[in-house]
């Protein structure tokens, strides 16, 4: 791993010369593994099979309320700053996407995932697994209680660090609405250095991946509030994520 952050930053700057794209570029050389992983051929339209037209579907009884609180999954309290993350899920016309599954996964406060592939020297938290889910309500709102995730190193290049983020997966009401993406936190100094964040080359689209601090969502004596809205389809669609699952 001899590539330096300066090399990657130069590549990120060079990548800005082209058109600004709302979705991440599939082939984004500064994000090394995207070169080998992206599809090499144009997608082929296929007719969905019957099962794909009505599945996956989740009944309200399939997802318990407690699953939206990542701080109560173990006997003790996890370490770190407690946060509330909430927002509205809408389609491209601004209509609420109601009663749909929202799943999240994230690193703990020390930047470590509870996952075999993450072996970097930061502590695991026995009281934090880092996975949760909920259904949006009738007006398209979701809400999670969790811990502020830490930034973590990855091996894209020497001294590569990911800005703190929470992974999101949404199914929407059909397969064309499936969205896997990441939410970031405002003011992170790692934004300009991160080739995954920068693989979305349109600055406005990148901004739409960053939550806003919202004091009305902050609970007294309990947690800081962040608001992050998600658009599943249309030209304002939240940019996808291209990160390999941890
Ligand atoms: Fe991650």
Rounded Cα distance between 118 and 17, Å, is: 34
pLDDT band at residue 242 using 50, 70 and 90 as cut-offs: low
Q: Please tell me which residue in 167, 206, 226, 237 is annotated as part of the active site.
A: 167
pLDDT in tens, 90-116: 988 899 999 899 999 999 999 999 998
Supply the pLDDT for residue 92: 86
**Residue 140 scores a pLDDT above 80:** yes
Task: For the chain, give the percent of residues with pLDDT over 90.
Answer: 64
Helices (H), ranges, 188-244: 195-198, 203-207
- Helix residue ranges per DSSP H, 73-200: 195-198
What is the pLDDT confidence band of residue 69, given thresholds at 50, 70 and 90?
Answer: very high
Residue 163 Cα, ligand 1 centroid: separation in angstroms? 9
Q: What is the pLDDT of residue 238?
A: 80
SS3 content of the chain, % helix, strand, coil (to 5): 20, 25, 60
10 pLDDT exceeds 70?
yes
Query: From ligand 1's centre to the CA of 24, what distance in Å?
Result: 16
Summarize pLDDT for 41-63 with one digit per residue, the tens: 888 888 777 766 666 666 667 88
- Per the residue annotation, which of 165, 206, 226, 237 is the catalytic one? 165
Distance CA 150, CA 128 (A): 13
DSSP bridge pairs for 105: 131, 167
- If you average pLDDT over residues 177-204, what whole number do you get? 94
């Amino acid at each position: 791993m001899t590539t330096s952050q300066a090399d990657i930053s130069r590549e990120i700057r060079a990548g800005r010369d082209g058109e600004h794209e709302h979705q991440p570029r599939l082939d984004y050389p500064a994000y090394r593994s995207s070169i080998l992983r992206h599809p090499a051929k144009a997608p082929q339209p296929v007719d969905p099979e019957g099962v794909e037209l009505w599945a996956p579907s989740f009944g309200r009884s399939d997802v318990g309320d407690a699953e939206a609180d990542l701080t109560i999954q173990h006997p003790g309290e996890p370490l770190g700053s407690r946060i509330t993350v909430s927002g509205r899920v809408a389609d491209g016309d601004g209509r609420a996407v109601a009663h749909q599954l929202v799943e999240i996964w994230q690193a703990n406060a020390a930047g470590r995932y509870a996952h075999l592939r993450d072996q970097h020297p930061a502590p695991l938290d026995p009281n934090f697994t880092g996975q949760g889910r909920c259904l949006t309500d009738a007006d398209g709102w979701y809400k999670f209680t969790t811990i502020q995730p830490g930034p973590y190193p990855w091996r894209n290049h020497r001294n590569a660090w990911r800005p703190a983020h929470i992974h999101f997966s949404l199914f929407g009401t059909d397969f064309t609405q499936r969205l896997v993406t990441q939410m970031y936190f405002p003011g992170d100094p790692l934004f300009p250095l991160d080739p995954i964040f920068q693989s979305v080359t349109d600055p406005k689209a990148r901004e739409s991946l960053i939550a806003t601090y919202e004091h009305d969502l902050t609970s007294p004596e309990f947690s800081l509030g962040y608001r992050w809205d998600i658009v599943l389809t249309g030209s304002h669609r939240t940019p996808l994520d291209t990160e390999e699952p941890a």
